[in-house]
Amino acid sequence: MRFAGLLLALLAAADNPGERVVHMVARRFTYLPDVIELQLGIPVIIELTSADRDHGFSVPDLGIRIDVEPGKTARVRVVPDKLGAFDFHCDVFCGSGHEEMAGRIVVSAPAAIGGNSGH
């Protein structure tokens, strides 16, 4: 089902020296940044914090889902194994506007990637 063709290796709270870390902040009703550019086959740690209350970070097409809670840092390690754009959203109801709290992961071929919105 939703895990078909999935990004590999989800890893909570792992230290992987040398790997790129993408910092994200969740707050009602946005993620900053809301577009994450990744490169095919290059491992990345996505690190999320909450600026206000409980949120979720769910990328169903990639089989990723973690809780984002105030005072904690949530981490997930991903190794993109397919090209494309993959929507993410908050799946912990957080108020009026929750339905708009979303963004996108874009996986490009290494040579094609341009600027980096995630550092």
CA 28 to chain centroid, in Å, comes to 16
- Can residue 82 be called a binding residue for another protein (CB under 8 A)? no
Q: Does the CA dihedral 51-94-7-14 come out positive or negative?
A: positive
Q: By rule CB under 8 A, what string of x and - marks binding of each residue 19-58 to another protein?
A: -----------------------------------x-x-x
- In one-letter notation, the amino acid at residue 21 is V
Q: Contact with another protein (CB under 8 A): which of 16, 19, 87, 109?
A: 87
- Dihedral of the CA atoms 9, 12, 16, 19 (nearest 10)? 70
Element counts in the chain: helices (H) and strands (E): 0, 9
| Shortest Å distance, C-beta 19 to another protein | 26
Residues paired with 108 in a beta bridge:
39
Which stretch, 9-17, 33-41, 94-102, 105-113, contacts another protein (CB under 8 A)? 94-102
Q: Contact with another protein (CB under 8 A): which of 47, 69, 81, 91?
A: 91
Alpha-carbon distance of 14 to 28, in angstroms, equals: 27
Q: Contact with another protein (CB under 8 A): which of 20, 60, 81, 108?
A: 60
Write out the residues near another protein by the rule CB under 8 A. 1-2, 54, 56, 58-61, 65, 67, 87-89, 91-96, 98-100, 102
